[in-house]
Structure 1
């Protein structure tokens, strides 16, 4: 069976489990050239996002395949969102 990697940080599941056993966990994140944290996430992710998860982010079904490995909702193109999300955005800005 091939080794499973975190879809976000690319660390192996075995290495993550071993670090947790040693009580020195590998966190899910990325560090730049200078050692500064660029981003971090609370959990590692070993599977693609489900249709239900993508629908909860108001992504149109025809664009699900583009966002299976989405890291952040900020990565979603507004044109790929449904009308309900657009309505919420309008209300939040006070235009409605």
Structure 2
């Protein structure tokens, strides 16, 4: 394999592959999964996050930072498998400046 082929092969890899493997090894599905996110205390971003879990019957708790500039969210939702967990992370990653823990 040439160096150019090696580089392009790396670009096609799934960035969630390691996480997918970890989920398969450490979580028994289906289960209630806990997500944790931090976002700026912006009404639109908060609404976007909550909308992503609106149809999932999720439990969402939020805490403001001491300065009030950020909010942390703990979201508990029932998921069928690791692919559903990854789908949520991919969707939430579309929110600008979100921190996923």
TM-score, length-scaled by structure 2? 0.25
State which structure, 1 or 2, has the greater radius of gyration over its C-alpha atoms. 1
Higher relative contact order structure (alpha carbons within 8 Å, sequence separation ≥ 6): 2
Name the one with the larger strand percent. Answer: 2
